[in-house]
Chain A
Amino acid sequence: MSEPVTNLKNYAAPAELRRAPVVECSGGLGVLTDKLSEFAEGKTPMWWWILFLPAAFCATVVLPFCLFYQVFTGVGVWGNNHPVMWGLDIVNFIWWVGVAHAGTLISALLFLTRQHWRTTIGRMAEAMTVFSVMMAGAYPAIHVGRAWFDWYMFPVPNSNGLWPQFKSPLMWDVFAVNTYMTVSMLFWFMGMIPDFAVLRDRATTRVRKIIFSILAMGWTGSARHWHNYEKAYVVLSGLCTLLVFTVSSIVGLDFCTSQLAGWHATIFPLYFVIGAVFCGFGMMLVILIPLRKWCHMEEVITLSHIDKVAKLTLVSGLIIAYIYAMEFFIAWYSGDPYEKWVFGHRLFGHTYWILGWMLIGINVCVTQLLWFKKIRANLAVLFVIGILINIGMWTERFVIVVGSLYQEFLPANWGKYMPTIWDIGLYVGTLGTFFMLYLLFVKFLPMIAISEVKGAVPHGDPHHVLGGATNKKGGQP
C-alpha cells in the first residue's frame, strides 16, 4: 500500500484547505481494524480494575441496600417533606436524562448532518446514553410511595376496570423514558452488529466465537444487507434525533404544566433539552479524555474530536446562559409577585442562594473558557470543566425542583429540604452502576464503530486513491 501513499503527496490539497483526517490511519484498514478491536481483545489493564471494583461495589452493594431500605421503610427515609415533595429523587432523574442526551445527539443528529468525525466517538456516546437512561428510568419507578404498584401506570386491563390518567405529564414521562431507553438501545445494538461480526471473525477462542456469532446474527457484510442496514440506520438516527428534542421536552412539561411559580414557564421544554445536551457534553468530556489516553486511542479520538465536543459544549452553554437571563427577565417582567419572590430568592434567598450562584458561576462563566483554543486543546482543563459542568447542571436541577417548592404560594407552608444519607446513597449507587456498565462495555464490546470508521477513512473510499482508485482525479470529493 506504500505506492498510493506517495501518490497522495502529489495530489494533496494545500495544507490550509486540508481537513484533519477523521482518524490517523497510516497502516491501512487491516492495521486500523487491529487497533480498534485491540482493547476489547487484549488483556485487562490495571486501571480498569481500579475503576471497576469500586463502581461494582456501589452497584451491587450500595444501590440494592438503599433501595431495599427505602422500599421497606418508606419514602420517609429520604429528606423529602411537605412542601418539598420532590427532592434528590427527581433531581437525579432529570440529571441522568440529561446525561443521556449528548449521546443521542452526537450519534444521531451528527450522523444525519454527515459529520464524519462523529464515527469514532459515536459508539461511546450511545453507550453513555443507554446506561444513563437506565439510571434515569429507575428513579421514577422507585421514587413513588408504593413502588410495587407501578404497574398502575401502564394500561393493563384489570378487574378494577381502571386505567391510567393520560392527562398527567407523568404518564407522558413513562412513555418518553421507556421509549428513549428502548430506542437508544436498538440504535446502539444495531450499530454494533457489523462490529460484532468483526470480533466474531477475529475471535480466537471458541467461547468468544459463539458469543459474537450470536450477537452478530450471521452478519456477512453482503451489499444487500448493507443496503437495508444503511437505510435502517438513517431512519433510526432520524427518530433518535426527534427523541433528543422530545424526551427532555416532556420532562420539562412535568414542571411547566404545573402551577408553581418557578416551574410554570413556557421556556421549560427548550430549557431542559439544551440543559440536557449541555450536561451530556460535559459527561462526554469526562469520559472521552481519560479513555482515549488509557485505551491508547489518541490516533482514533484525535484532539480535533475533543475540540469539536468542546465547541458544542460552548454553544449549548451559551444558550443556557440566554435562558437563565430570560427566566429572570420574565419573572421581573411578568410582575407576578410569586415569580418575583422565587427568582429573587434563587440568588439572594436563604439556604440555597449559594447554589444559585454556583450554577451561574459554572454553567455561564466557566463555560466561556471554551472560547479559547488553548483551553480546548488542554485536556486536563477540559476534563475539569467537564466535571464542573456536570456539577453545575446537577445544581441547576436542584435549584429548579427544590428552589421552587420550598417557598411557594402560602408562606405558612414554607419549609426547607436537606437530603439524607439515603438520598445520597442512592445517587452514589446509580453512579456506580453507570460506570460499572460503561467499563464492562469498554472492555468487552467494540467501543468504536469499526466498520463506520473504516468507511470514513480515505482507504475506504472507492473514489480515493487510498481506496485504490486509479483515476488521476484522486483527492477528496
Chain B
Amino acid sequence: MKNNLNNSTSPVTGRRYWRSLDELADTPEFKDWLHREFPVGASELVEDGQSRRNFLKIMSASFAFAGIATLGSGCRRPEEKLEPFGQQPENYTFGEAQYFATAMPTRTGAIPLVVKSYEGRPIKIEGNALFPGSNGGTDRYAQASILDLYDPDRARHFKHDGKVVVREEALNFLDELSKKFAANSGEGLAFLSESSTSPSRWRVQQNIASKFPKSQWFTYDAIDSGIHQRAATQAFGQPVHPVFHFDKAKVILSLDCDFLGGEDGAHEHIRKFAAGRKAGQGMSRLYAIESLFTLTGANADHRLRVAASSVAQIAAAILGAVISGQTPGVTTVPADLDLKWISECANDLAKNRGNVLVIAGQRQPLVVHLLAHAINTALDCIGNTVALIPGTDNRGGASGQLAKYLDGHAVDTLVILGGNPVQNSPGQMNWAALQKKAKTVVRLGYYEDETAELANWNFPAAHYLESWGDATTSDGTLVPVQPLIQPLFGGLSELDFLWRILGQSLGSILAVRSTHGSFVDGEQWKKFLFNGFVAGSSKSLENVKMVKSTSALNQLLVEAGKPVLSASNLEVVFFRDAKVDDGRYANNGWMQELPDPITKMTWDNAVLVSRKTARDLGVANGDLVEISLNGQKVIGPIWTQPGMADYSLGLALGYGRERAGRVGTGVGFNAYKIFSGKYIETGATIHKTGETHVIACTQDHWSMEGRPAVREANLAEFTKLPNFAEEMHGKEPPIVKSLYPNPFDEAKKTALHQWGMAIDLTSCVGCGTCVVACQSENNIPIVGKDQVKRGREMHWMRIDRYYTADPKKENPADKFKTDEDQQFSEWIDDVQAVNQPMLCQHCEMAPCESVCPVNATVHDQEGLNVMAYNRCIGTRYCSNNCPYKVRRFNYLDFNKRPLSELKGPIYSSAMLGHKTDGELDILRWWKDPNSGMRSEDEWDLIKLSKNPDVTVRMRGVMEKCTYCTQRIEHAKIGQKAKAGGSDNVRLLEAAGTIPKTACQQACPAGAIVFGDVSDPESAVSKAKAQPQNYGVLADLLTKPRTTYLARVRNPNPLMPDYREWPHSFEEYEQLNGNPFDHEKKGNG
C-alpha cells in the first residue's frame, strides 16, 4: 500500500541554527542523526509505527517534516524524507566523525584540544595527545565547555537598550564608534577585558592603542592567576613566567597551593605530578601546608592544617631552616604549631637539594611566592624543577585602576569584553554603580547576564569552538583556536569585535594569520592547524638569578603580620570553585551536578568550617549563617569540612548568580559580596540566621568503616609486601568449585579481545575530569538538585572519596549514628582522604545479569557486561544485586525535564496541571507519549549536544558504564572493514588500534588504563600484572574486569605525624585483624 500524500513538496526548513551548514541541514544524514538523538527504541515498541510517528514529531522540532503518516499508512512508519545535497561536496562522508585541533584559552595559558565533530556539530572534546609532553588529558572545565556551546540561555541576540536589533545595525554601531573615536583619538574610550594569552589579541590591543592613543585598556580577572608571573617577575627582575616541573621534583612543598585542584593549568600539574609519583622507589613526596582541605592536601604525604594567613610565617621559617639549618624559633611561627614538622620538612627539602619544588598558592600574598622562589633558589632548583619562560608583557591595568578612572574621568564609552564585573568584581567596589558612570556601555558577552543588564549595547559572543584565534600555553607554546562550527547565533569573537572597532573589515581568521604572518606561511599554517601547535615555540630562559633581597622579604613579611584567629576573629579564604570557576560555568548543568572533588557537594557552595570552629560558633551543617567582613555581609549555609584549619572559613566564589540562566540562577550564595580583592582576609564574624538550607551531597557517608575498598600502604611496607593489597580481603573468599562450567570460558576462546581496565590509585588525584568526560560522551542526563538529594544522580562513573583517620580517635558508638552526626565526631579533625573512581566493574560472574528477568543485561564474548536499554523494563533488581552499586536508573524522564526546574522537586512540575509551551503536559503526552516538558528552544539546542553514537535513555530504564562500547565497536568495525577479505581483524595495542574510553582519554594523570587483557603485551595486562593490583569486593567471586592498583604513599619516617601504615589500613586492621598472619585471621 502506498502513501501518495505530499511526496513531492520539498520541506520547509524550520528555524535554522546551522548557518554554515544550511545545505547540510537538509541532508538525510543530518536528519538521520536528528532522529538518532532520542532513539525511539528506548521508549517504544520496535515495530510500532504509531510511536515512531510520535517520536519523529519530537525530533522534527526544528525541522518541519513533509511527510506525516496518515490513516492511509496505518501501522506503517510515517513517510520520512531523505534530502541529499544538490551538489555533492568533495571528500565528505556522512556518518564518519571529523576531528579538528583547536585550543581552549585559559587565564594564563591554553589547553590544546582535539574536538570530535559529527556533521559539523562538535560532540566531544579531547586533549591533544600530539602536544609535546601531553597525554591527551584535559580538565573538568574543558570537558564541560562543550555544553556551553549548546546552552539554550546563551546570548542569542544583538540588543540595544534591551531591545533586539538586527546584526547589521549592531555592527554599524561599531563602525560609527570607530569613526567617532578615530576623530578624537579615543578620548573617553575605555576597554575592560579579561586577561588573555592570545598574541593576536595583544596585537589588536596595540593597534587600538595606536589608533586611539587616548583610549584606556584595563584587564581584570575575578580569579587572579597572574600572581605567579608577577611574583616571578619581581623575584627575578625581568618578565618571566614560572613553569613547574613536578615530574622532576623528588620533594614538593605546597605553600597553600592547590596546584592539583584550583590553580590554573591544574591538568598539566596533575600530569607531571603523577609522572613523578609512580608507585615504587624514587616516587616523589608531597608536603602540603594549607587551611582548606584541597585535592593537593588529599594527595599529600604530610599535610599541615594551618590558617592560610599564617602560611607566610611558616614559609619564612622553612626558608630560614633551609638556608642556615637553624630550627625555627617559636616567635616566628604561630604558637600552636608543631615545630618538628617544619624542621623535619625543611631537612627533607635540604637533603634533596636540586630536586625540590616549593610552590605558593595563587591565593597567597606576594610575599609567600617570593619566599617560595627564595627557597627554590636556595636549593638551586631554578631552571630544574622550576623553569622560567619569557613572561607575557604587562597587558593593561587592573580593574581597580579602572574604578578610579571611572570616578575621575568622563568615560564616554566603556567596552566590556567578556567577564562579568557586575557579578564578580569585589563587593566593596560596587561595580554596578561605577558602570553607570560611563555614558555608553558596550558589552560583548556570552550570556545576557548581570553585566549585560546594565549595558546599553549587548553583542552575543562566540564560543571558542565558533571562533578563530590563537593562544600560548602555560609553557609558551603557540596554539591555534579554530572554529568547528559557525556561530550558532551569529555571535562575534573578541577578535572580530575588536577588529570591527578598529574599523577593519577583515575577518578574524585573517587577523590571526596576519599576526603570525612572519612565520606561518601556507604550508606551515596548514600544519599549524593540523597539529594544533607550533613545535618548539616554547623556550625557557637560562641562568636567571633571584634579585629580591632577603631584607626586602623580611620587610614584606612584617607587613603581612601575624593575625591571631579566634571564633570572633575568623579568617576567610576565597577560592576558585572546582565547578563553576569564577561563575562562568554557573549555567552549565554538568558542572553544577558534578560532585565537588572534596566535599562531594552539588548545586551549591557553602561556608566550609572545621568541626572545632563549628562547635565554637554553635553551628551545624545546613545552618544559614551571616558572615560579616569589613562591613559587607553575605548569608550562606555551613558545611563542616574534615581536615579544615580551625577558625578559617572557606568560601567558593562564583555562585549566587542572579542572571545566570535556567540552570545557574539562584544556586548557592554570592561570596563576591564580601570579597575585596584579597583572597585571604581576617576579621570576619559569623552569626546564625536560624534558618537552614538543604545541601545535596552525593556521598553522605565519610568513613570507609574499615572495609578494603581502597587499599593503601606506605612505600616502605609496599617494598616489603608488594602484594599487600591481595591479602586485604573483606572476608576470606569461600573456596568453592563451581557446580557447572562457566560458559563464558568457552566463549573466551573464540573471542577476538577481552576488555579490561586498571585504575592506578596512586596516580588518581580525584579531580573528576573523567566524570564529566563520561557524561559528555555517553549522553548522561542532568537530574537536578532535588534528585541528587534523593540519591538519583546518573553519573556512570563516580569518584568515591573516603576520609580515614586514626582508629583510636574513632568512637565505636559513632558507627551507629546517622550520617548527619559525622560532623560532630572528633576523628574528622585530622584525616587522610582517599579517592576511588568507581564504575561498572564488568564482572565475569556478574551478579546483575543472572537476576534480570528479560535478558536486558548479559555478557558479550569479549567480557563486556552489556546493557540493552530498549529491552530493559526497569525491575531495578540488577542494581540491588550489584555490590558496587554502579548501575543508574532513570527514575524520571530526565532528558525531558526542563532545565529551569532542575533545582526544585519534581512534584511541582510533574503535577498534572503543569503546562509547557502553553499546553497542558497531559494533553501533550496524550498526543505524543514522547513529548517532554521542555520548551522548543531548549529542545533545539539540547538535541544538538547529544552524541549520536549513544542511545539516549528514557524513563524506567537502567543504565551504566559500558566501557564506551560505542568506541570499541567503532574501532572493531573500522578494523574489520579495513581487513575486508582477510583475517586481520584483531585490534592490537602494538598497532595502536585499541580504542580509548572517554574517562581514560580525559584523565590528566593517566591513571586509567583500558585495553585487551588477552594480549599479554598490552598496557592493561602489564598494569594488572603489578603486585599491588587488586579487585574491589573480589571476595564475592564476581571476578571484576576493572581492577585497581593499590595506592602507595611516601611519608617521611622522621616526620612527627608519620605512621607505619596509612589510616585506611589501620581501620581495616582494627576490623579484620592483621591480614598478613593467616593463623589469627578467621576463615569466614
Contact = CB atoms under 8 A, between A and B. Distances in A.
Contacts of A85: 876-877, 879-880, 889
B907 A338 contact: no
Contacts of B793: 82
A122 to B, nearest CB: 35
A83 B838 CA distance: 14
A153 B956 CA distance: 15
Interface stretch (B473-481, B544-552, B700-708): B700-708
Contacts of B879: 82-83, 85
Interface in A299-348: 334-338, 341, 344-345, 348
A301 B802 CA distance: 62
B910 A405 contact: no
Interface stretch (B231-239, B374-382, B388-396, B850-858): B850-858
Contacts of B957: 145-146
A257 interface: yes
Given A146-B956, A408-B883, A77 B838 contact: no
Given A258-B880, A411-B707, A411-B802, A336 B817 contact: no
Contacts of A169: 851
B934 to A, nearest CB: 15
Contacts of B817: 350
Contacts of B855: 162-165
Contacts of B874: 75, 144-146
Contact of A145 (B703, B730, B873): B873
A80 B891 contact: yes
Contacts of A159: 46-47
A83 B791 contact: yes
B1082 interface: yes
Interface in B690-743: 699-701, 703-707, 709, 730-731
A414 B701 CA distance: 7
Please tell me the size bucket of the interface on B: 35 or more
Contacts of A411: 701, 703-705, 707, 709, 802
B785 to A, nearest CB: 14
Most buried by B among A159, A353, A415: A415
Contacts of A353: 816
Given A174-B853, A338-B730, A410-B885, A74 B871 contact: no
A334 B816 CA distance: 21
B885 A413 contact: yes
B871 A162 contact: yes
A149 B790 CA distance: 26
B907 A165 contact: no
A174 to B, nearest CB: 7
Given A160-B46, A341-B705, A415-B700, A349 B910 contact: no
Interface string B841-884: 00000010011111100100000000000011111110111011
B832 to A, nearest CB: 15
Given A159-B46, A336-B1084, A81 B792 contact: yes
B129 interface: no
A276 B647 CA distance: 57
Contacts of B275: none
B851 A144 contact: no
Contacts of A179: none
Nearest to B731: A336
A189 interface: no
Nearest to A173: B853
Given A174-B853, A412-B838, A82 B791 contact: yes
A416 B790 CA distance: 8
Contacts, number: 204
A412 B1032 CA distance: 13
A47 interface: no
Contacts of B138: none
Given A334-B1084, A410-B709, A413-B885, A80 B876 contact: yes
Interface of B is mostly: loop
Nearest to B847: A259
B906 interface: yes
Most buried by B among A170, A413, A414: A413
A77 B905 CA distance: 10
Interface in B1063-1084: 1071-1072, 1082, 1084
A152 B871 contact: yes
Interface string A81-119: 111111000000000000000000000000000000000
B800 A410 contact: yes
A205 interface: no
Interface in A411-444: 411-416
B925 interface: yes
A150 interface: yes
Contacts of B398: none
Contacts of A414: 700-701, 819
A337 B885 contact: no
A81 B698 CA distance: 12
Interface in A35-67: none
Contacts of A152: 853-854, 871, 873
A69 B910 CA distance: 9
B787 interface: yes
Nearest to A401: B880
B852 A165 contact: yes
Contact of A171 (B699, B853, B883, B1082): B853
A339 B1022 CA distance: 36
Contact of B890 (A145, A153, A160): A145
A412 B1036 contact: no
B912 interface: yes
B955 interface: yes
B971 interface: no
Given A162-B855, A170-B853, A81 B790 contact: yes
A2 interface: no
Contacts of A171: 853
B1072 to A, nearest CB: 7
A81 B801 CA distance: 20
A76 B891 contact: yes
B922 interface: yes
A73 interface: yes
Indicate the member of B881, B890, B912 with the most A CB atoms within 10 Å: B881
A334 to B, nearest CB: 6
A337 B704 CA distance: 13
Given A162-B871, A259-B847, A170 B877 contact: yes
Contacts of B891: 74-76, 80-81, 145
B453 interface: no
A259 B889 contact: no
Contacts of A86: 876-877, 880
B93 interface: no
Nearest to A413: B885
A383 to B, nearest CB: 37
Contacts of A73: 892, 906, 910
Contacts of B700: 414-416
Contact of A412 (B709, B906, B955, B1033): B709
Nearest to B881: A258
A62 to B, nearest CB: 15
Given A74-B893, A171-B853, A257-B851, A335 B1082 contact: yes
A370 B836 CA distance: 54
Contacts of B873: 144-147, 149-150, 152-153
Given A409-B884, A410-B885, A411-B707, A77 B910 contact: yes
B818 interface: yes
Given A145-B874, A409-B885, 7 more contacts: A146-B954, A259-B883, A344-B816, A409-B884, A410-B709, A410-B838, A411-B705
19 contacts: A73-B906, A76-B892, A86-B880, A144-B873, A145-B872, A146-B874, A168-B853, A169-B851, A258-B877, A258-B880, A259-B1036, A335-B731, A350-B817, A409-B707, A409-B1036, A411-B701, A411-B802, A412-B709, A413-B884
Of all A-B residue pairs in the complex, the 6 with the closest CB atoms, nearest first, are: A145-B874, A145-B956, A76-B891, A412-B800, A76-B892, A85-B876
